[in-house]
Structure 1
Amino acid sequence: MITVAIAEDHVSLSDGLQLFLEQETDIKVKYTATNGVQLLSKFKEEPTDVILTDISMPEMNGIELCKTIKSQYNSTKVIALSMFDNSGAIKDMINAGVDGYVLKSSPLIDLRQAVRDVFNDQNYFDVHIKEQVEEIQSQKLKKNLLSRSEREILQFIAKGLTSQQIAEIRGSAISTVNKHRKNMIQKLGLSGKRELLEYAMNQHAHSNS
C-alpha cells in the first residue's frame, strides 16, 4: 500500500485528488493539509510514503516544504502538483530535491502514474516540461563541475563585475580571477567570456529577481 499526504490550499481540488487516488487498491491518502506548516505537523505524527504538494501556498510553500522533508525524511518522495510550467518554478523544485512534477492541466492518470513511479524510486516529470527539466538538469551537472571558488566568481560575473573588481573583493590577483574564468569556460564547454557572462546571468537570474 502506497500512503500519500496532500498539501493543497484549494480544498475542493484536494478532495477531488483524494477521491481519484483512492479508487486504486494500492494507494491510500492518509490526510490533506492547506499549507506546508499544517502538513509537516501531521506528517511528524504519521509519515507517508509520498507527499503531493502545490507550490504556491500560504505560510509555507511547496518549495520550502520539499526542502524540509528532504533534509529530515529523505526516504519520503515528493511530487509537485502545480499550474506553473515556467523554468523558474521547475528549477526551484528540482533544487529542493523533488522526485516528480505534474501539471494541474494534465490528466489525473498522469498523477496516479507519478505516485507509483516515485514510490518505486523513479523520477516522474510531466511530458509537457520535459525540455525544461532536461536543460535544468544539464546545467546543474555542469555547475557541479565547478570548484567553490569558481562558483563564487560566477556569482560576481552574473552581477556584471570586472575581473579587477572581483579580485579586489576576494583579495586575490587579477591573474587568478582570469585563470578561474578560463577554467570555467573550458569546463562548461563555452566559446568565450561572452558566453560565460550569459551562462552566469542565466544561472543567477532567478535568485537575483
Structure 2
Amino acid sequence: MTTVLIADDHAVVRSGLRQFLASTTDLKITAEACNGQDVLQQIGPSKCDILLLDINLPDLNGLEVLKRAKRLRPDLPVLVFSMFSEDEFAVHALNAGASGYLNKDSPPAQILQALRTVASGARYLSPALAEKLLSGNLGRGKALPHETLSPRENEVMLALSRGIALTRIAQQLNLSVKTISTYRTRVLEKLNLNSNADITRYVLEHKLDT
C-alpha cells in the first residue's frame, strides 16, 4: 500500500480525494495538512510515501514548501496538484524538485496514473505538458526574484524581514556587520527593492516565512 500525505487548505478537496482513493487497493491517504508548516511537520520517513501538494497554501508559498520538503526528504516524491495551469507553474515546480504536476480538473484516471507513476520513482507529465515541452511551446518559466538569491542571501533577507538589526544578524551568523551589510545590498538589488520595509512586504506577499 502506497501512503499519501495530501496538503490542501480546502477540506472538501481533501475529503473528496480521500474517498476517491479509498476505492483503490494500492493507494491510501494516511495524513492531511492544511498549510505549509503542517506539511513540513508531517513528512517524516514513516509518515508517507508520496506528498500530494497544492501550491496555493495560506501560510507559505507552495513552491517554498516543496523546496523545504525536498531538503528534509530528498527521496520523497512530490506531485503538485494545483488549480493553476501548467503553463504558469509546471516548470517552476519541476525545477524545484517535483516529480510531477497535475491540474485539479484532471480526470480521475489521470490522477491515479500520476500517483502511481511518481510512486514508482518516475516523473509524471500530462500528455499535454509533455507535448508542449517536446515541441518547445512551453516557456521555461522566468525565475522569481527571490529564487536568484544564494542560501546566505536568503537567510539575511528573512532576518531583515523579521526586523532583526544588522548587528544581531551578524552575531547569529558569525559574520561581520560589514559582510551582512553587503548581503543586504545584494538582496535589495536582486529583488529590486529600496528598504527593509520593502523586503518585509516582499516576504509576506510571497509567503516565504512563517
Could you tell me the TM-score, scaled by structure 1's length?
0.61
User: For the residues of structure 1 that align with 2:140 and 2:2, how far apart are their CA atoms?
Assistant: 33
Asked if the contact 1:117/1:124 (under 8 Å) is kept, the reply is yes
Counterparts in 2 of 1:55-70, with a 5 A limit? 55-70=55-70
The residue aligned with 1:53 is 53
Deviation of 1:86 (Å):
4.6
Q: What is the percent sequence identity of the aligned residues?
A: 33
Counterparts in 2 of 1:59-208, with a 5 A limit? 59-134=59-134, 135=136
Unmatched tracts of structure 2, length 5 or more: 142-210
Deviation of 1:40 (Å):
1.4
3-state secondary structure, aligned to 2:14:
helix
The residue aligned with 1:29 is 29
Could you tell me the TM-score, scaled by structure 2's length?
0.60
User: For the residues of structure 1 that align with 2:88 and 2:36, how far apart are their CA atoms?
Assistant: 20
Q: CA RMSD in A?
A: 2.3
Asked if the contact 2:3/2:28 (under 8 Å) is kept, the reply is yes
Cα deviations by residue, 1:122-157 (Å, 9 ceiling, x for unpaired): 1111223234444499969xxxxxxxxxxxxxxxxx
**Structure label with greater radius of gyration:** 1
The residue aligned with 2:152 is none
Amino acid at match of 2:60: M
Unmatched tracts of structure 1, length 5 or more: 141-209
Structure ranking higher in helix proportion: 1
User: For the residues of structure 2 that align with 1:136 and 1:37, how far apart are their CA atoms?
Assistant: 35
**1 or 2 for the larger relative contact order (CA 8 Å, sep ≥6)?**
2
Asked if the contact 2:91/2:140 (under 8 Å) is kept, the reply is no
Cα deviations by residue, 1:154-199 (Å, 9 ceiling, x for unpaired): xxxxxxxxxxxxxxxxxxxxxxxxxxxxxxxxxxxxxxxxxxxxxx
Deviation of 1:49 (Å):
0.8
Deviation of 1:72 (Å):
2.0
